[in-house]
């Protein structure tokens, strides 16, 4: 009964689908025009094969995940720690990137035209009833995104939705499977069991130093030291170059003047609206009358957001307070722009009649851009100039170093020509490597390349666009068996654990053999000084056992009641041996409507399982990197 009720409670809790209205509002609410337009690798935070995930993808996904969680928990104020939200969003992006990469490899493509068709359904992207590409571009730029990136995001959402819908449509459930699932969900079981406690057995095991030494001698592979390398190297570091840059005051002033010359002085207004449709059931005069009644409520102190939720007929914005985003005077309909110019922050306009709808528009925020004073921008400009100069010098240094490695076979002569100090890195293993040597390509060269091991100079290796390294091996320690004294405690722990597991397996086999020979669980447990317990009416979501143990209990056929015995491993290493005593089938009425809902639930669950399986398979054959 508990499982059925749990399913019923969650039937309306499936993840929210992303629609174009939510995408538009998400941009407006979470980016608000404060982001700089970047589209380069400096902002890449992860990559899946050839697909790159950048900071803007992450910010948008965090907003989406937060929105879904608030809908799932039916709490507009629900929030989680930013780090946890960031982790959820990044995992979601990687999963989506795996699917998108798979679709691209299989020539499945969603054209930008599909995204534009979806956008065309939203009023904020229309001008005189027709779709306006200019409004899309303006909207994207106002909210800190390149228009192409915005449209790409929507195209990818469409592709992902096709994938999920297609996967769900391919799943099926027969009537007999449905009935069986419902019966199993309404079933409880009684068991009698005994538990073999790993900790109790481990505490009784004592090993001598002679036994530990013998185990050490017989298992040398457990105690091998890692290969270690000692290096001499030249390091071209972008950070080091930044520290050496000297920027003159005149350069900073020139940049500040360029900032003033290009500063956008256009005022920005954030707005929300409440929309009443004009239709065959409601004339324009009736819509205006209703809007006037709502305006009176607002003037009397009623909350605008609550009234939007109650009355607005714009499904894309009513759940977000009617937010329309930000306009520089050209993004909203002209009637809106004229009305907003007359309002102060927090004020709501009189009804505005358009061709097919009537609106109340609220000015939620007004920004009159004022350029920063020189002193407040001075340090930022200086840092930008330092980064530009250092980056240019870094590229030049890399190119020169790459050329010189072909004409020099000595790190010393290379050091002199490049005017760079030779550094040393004392012995380290793969696991002990620190930046910049943690790079996989670099580690493979150090520990696997025969030419390097023979004493040859490496080529120039660039790492994360931050370091350029040229190195040679000064010394190399091969893998070897550690001396006994240094690993005695480790050997003792390994031997104790091995003997404990053997003891547990032996005792379990002894119990099962005695039961197979006809002895009862109660008798055989007592002979081995083990306690016997019974649990009644266990259901599938019981907290008495872990999921894997419950799976074993419910996998036992009804025909084995009171006759046969089985076992299950607990996560902490304990083992239980149990007998199925009784199976009870609860007679819970399930209506045809509930059956349809349950069938959809089981199908969604099956599709989700198949999706996870496919994504796991994709990830195993893909290159996933997180910066």
Q: Mapped to the 3 state alphabet, what secondary structure does 368-381 carry?
A: CCCCCCHHHHHHHH
Together in a domain, 459 and 493 = no
Q: Domain boundary at 477, 497, 522, which?
A: 477
3-state secondary structure at position 539: coil
In the chain, how long is the greatest CA-to-CA distance?
Answer: 99
Position 55 in a domain: yes
Neighbours of 519 (CB within 10 A): 14
Residues 6+ apart with CB under 8 A from 553: 189, 191, 538, 545, 568, 578, 580
Distance, CA of 185 to CA of 598 (rounded, Å): 11
Distance, CA of 56 to CA of 408 (rounded, Å): 44
Distance, CA of 543 to CA of 432 (rounded, Å): 42
Q: Are 234 and 470 in contact (CB under 8 A)?
A: yes
The dihedral through the CA atoms of 497, 500, 502, 505 has a sign that is negative
pLDDT at 588: 66
Together in a domain, 39 and 96 = yes
Distance, CA of 81 to CA of 65 (rounded, Å): 12
Together in a domain, 312 and 439 = no
pLDDT at 142: 58
Query: Which phi and psi (to 5°) does residue 118 adopt?
Result: -70, -45
Together in a domain, 26 and 77 = yes
pLDDT at 308: 94
- E-strand ranges in 34-129 read 44-48, 51-54, 126-127
Distance, CA of 388 to CA of 396 (rounded, Å): 13
Distance, CA of 163 to CA of 95 (rounded, Å): 12
Together in a domain, 151 and 213 = no
Distance, CA of 468 to CA of 391 (rounded, Å): 12
Q: Are 288 and 392 in contact (CB under 8 A)?
A: no
The dihedral through the CA atoms of 137, 142, 147, 153 has a sign that is negative
pLDDT at 484: 92
Distance, CA of 472 to CA of 451 (rounded, Å): 10
Question: 209 is written with which tokens?
Answer: 């130093």
Query: Which phi and psi (to 5°) does residue 206 adopt?
Result: -120, 135
3-state secondary structure at position 422: coil
Distance, CA of 213 to CA of 463 (rounded, Å): 45
Q: Domain boundary at 335, 367, 399, which?
A: 367
Q: Are 498 and 219 in contact (CB under 8 A)?
A: no
3-state secondary structure at position 573: coil
Position 259 in a domain: no
Query: Any idea what DSSP says for residue 303?
Result: -
pLDDT at 606: 67
Distance, CA of 515 to CA of 491 (rounded, Å): 36
Classify residue 446 as exposed, middle or buried by CB count within 10 Å of its CB (0-12, 13-18, 19+).
buried
Together in a domain, 75 and 204 = no
3-state DSSP of 455-511: CCCCCCEEECCCEEEEEEEEEEECCCECCHHHHHHHHHHHHHHHHHHHHHHHHHHHH
Which residues constitute the domain of residue 77? 2-172+617-626
Neighbours of 12 (CB within 10 A): 9
Query: Any idea what DSSP says for residue 348?
Result: B
Position 303 in a domain: yes
Q: Are 540 and 554 in contact (CB under 8 A)?
A: yes
Position 177 in a domain: no
Q: Are 189 and 55 in contact (CB under 8 A)?
A: no
Buried-state track 310-346, b at ≥16 Cβ within 10 A, e below 16: ebbebebbbbbbbbbbbbbeebbbeebbebbeebeee
Whichever domain contains 301, its CATH number is: 3.10.50.40
Whichever domain contains 26, its CATH number is: 1.10.4030
Query: Any idea what DSSP says for residue 625?
Result: E
Together in a domain, 234 and 218 = no
Nearest to 237 by CA among 111, 12, 393, 126: 393
Question: 509 is written with which tokens?
Answer: 């086999």
Residue with tokens 């109340």, as numbered in its chain: 360
Q: Domain boundary at 447, 477, 507, which?
A: 477
DSSP letter for each residue of 123-142: GGGEETTEE-HHHHHHHHHH
Walking along the chain (627 residues) 10 residues at a time, the average pLDDT comes out as 36 33 35 35 70 76 79 74 82 82 75 76 77 73 63 78 67 67 76 92 93 92 89 91 91 90 85 94 94 95 94 89 88 92 94 94 90 89 91 89 86 90 92 84 88 90 86 91 91 93 93 90 92 89 82 81 84 89 78 68 66 67 70
Distance, CA of 346 to CA of 357 (rounded, Å): 22
Pairing between β-strand 461-463 and β-strand 467-477 as defined by DSSP bridges: antiparallel
Query: Which residues face 189 on adjacent strands?
Result: 538, 583
Position 134 in a domain: yes
Residues 6+ apart with CB under 8 A from 139: 24, 27, 124, 125, 150, 325, 331
Together in a domain, 8 and 91 = yes
pLDDT at 126: 79
Distance, CA of 240 to CA of 238 (rounded, Å): 5
Nearest to 146 by CA among 310, 224, 35, 285: 35
Together in a domain, 232 and 215 = no
Query: Any idea what DSSP says for residue 332?
Result: S
Together in a domain, 7 and 141 = yes
- In the chain, what is the straight-line distance between the N-terminal and C-terminal CA atoms, in Å? 47
Together in a domain, 32 and 114 = yes
Classify residue 557 as exposed, middle or buried by CB count within 10 Å of its CB (0-12, 13-18, 19+).
exposed
Together in a domain, 217 and 233 = no
Neighbours of 41 (CB within 10 A): 12
Pairing between β-strand 51-54 and β-strand 467-477 as defined by DSSP bridges: unpaired
Domain count, the chain: 4
Question: 320 is written with which tokens?
Answer: 């977000």
Position 599 in a domain: no
Query: Which residues face 462 on adjacent strands?
Result: 468
Query: Which residues face 219 on adjacent strands?
Result: none
Neighbours of 127 (CB within 10 A): 13
Position 606 in a domain: no
Position 604 in a domain: no
């Amino acid at each position: 009964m508990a499982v059925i009720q749990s399913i019923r409670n969650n039937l309306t809790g499936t993840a929210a689908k992303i629609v174009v209205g939510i995408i538009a509002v998400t941009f407006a609410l979470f980016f608000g025009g404060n982001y700089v337009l970047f589209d380069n690798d400096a902002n890449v935070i992860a990559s899946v094969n050839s697909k790159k995930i950048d900071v803007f993808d992450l910010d948008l996904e965090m907003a989406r995940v937060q929105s879904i969680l608030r809908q799932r928990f039916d709490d507009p104020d629900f929030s989680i720690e930013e780090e946890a939200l960031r982790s959820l969003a990044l995992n979601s992006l990687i999963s989506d990137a795996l699917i998108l990469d798979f679709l691209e490899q299989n020539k499945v493509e969603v054209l930008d035209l599909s995204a534009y068709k979806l956008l065309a359904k939203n009023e904020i992207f229309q001008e005189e009833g027709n779709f306006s590409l200019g409004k899309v571009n303006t909207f994207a730029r106002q909210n800190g995104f390149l228009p192409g990136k915005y449209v790409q995001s929507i195209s990818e959402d469409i592709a992902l939705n096709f994938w999920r819908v297609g996967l769900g449509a391919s799943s099926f459930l027969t009537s007999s499977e449905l009935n069986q699932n419902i019966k199993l969900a309404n079933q409880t079981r009684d068991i009698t069991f005994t538990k073999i406690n790993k900790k109790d057995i481990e505490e009784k095991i004592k090993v001598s130093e002679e036994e530990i030494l013998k185990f050490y001698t017989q298992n040398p592979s457990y105690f091998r030291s890692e290969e270690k390398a000692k290096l001499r190297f030249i390091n071209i570091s972008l950070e080091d170059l930044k520290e050496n840059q000297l920027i003159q005051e005149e350069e900073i002033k020139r940049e500040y003047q360029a900032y003033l010359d290009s500063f956008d002085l256009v005022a920005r207004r954030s707005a929300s609206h409440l929309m009443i449709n004009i239709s065959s059931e409601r004339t324009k005069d009736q819509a205006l009358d209703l809007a006037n009644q709502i305006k009176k409520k607002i003037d009397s102190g009623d909350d605008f957001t609550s009234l939007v939720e109650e009355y607005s007929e714009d499904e894309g914005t009513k759940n977000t307070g009617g937010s329309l985003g930000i306009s520089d005077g050209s993004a909203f309909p002209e009637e809106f722009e004229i009305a907003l110019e007359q309002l102060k922050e927090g004020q709501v306009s009189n009804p505005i009649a358009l061709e097919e709808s009537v609106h109340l528009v609220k000015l939620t925020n007004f920004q009159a851009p004022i350029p920063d004073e020189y002193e407040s921008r001075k340090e930022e400009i200086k840092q930008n100039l330092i980064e530009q100069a250092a980056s240019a010098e870094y590229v030049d240094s890399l190119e020169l170093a790459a050329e010189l490695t072909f004409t020099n076979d000595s790190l010393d002569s290379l050091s002199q020509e490049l005017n760079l100090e030779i550094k040393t890195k004392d012995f380290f293993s793969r696991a002990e490597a620190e930046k910049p040597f943690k790079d996989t390509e670099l580690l493979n060269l150090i520990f696997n390349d025969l030419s390097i091991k023979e004493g040859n100079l490496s080529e120039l290796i660039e790492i994360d666009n931050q370091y350029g390294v040229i190195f040679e091996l000064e010394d190399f320690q091969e893998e070897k068996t550690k001396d006994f004294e240094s690993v005695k405690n480790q050997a003792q722990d390994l031997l104790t654990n091995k003997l404990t597991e053997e003891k547990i397996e032996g005792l379990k086999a002894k119990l099962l053999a005695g039961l197979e020979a006809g002895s009862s669980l109660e008798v055989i447990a007592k002979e081995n000084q083990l306690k016997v317990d019974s649990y009644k009416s266990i259901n599938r979501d019981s907290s008495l056992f872990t999921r894997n143990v419950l799976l074993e209990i419910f996998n036992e056929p009804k025909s084995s009641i009171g006759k046969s015995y089985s076992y299950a491993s607990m996560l902490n290493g304990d083992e239980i041996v149990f007998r199925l005593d009784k199976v009870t089938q609860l007679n819970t009425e399930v209506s045809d409507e509930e059956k349809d809902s349950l069938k959809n639930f089981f199908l969604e669950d099956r599709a989700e399982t198949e999706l996870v399986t496919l994504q796991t398979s994709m990830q195993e054959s893909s290159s996933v990197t997180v910066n």
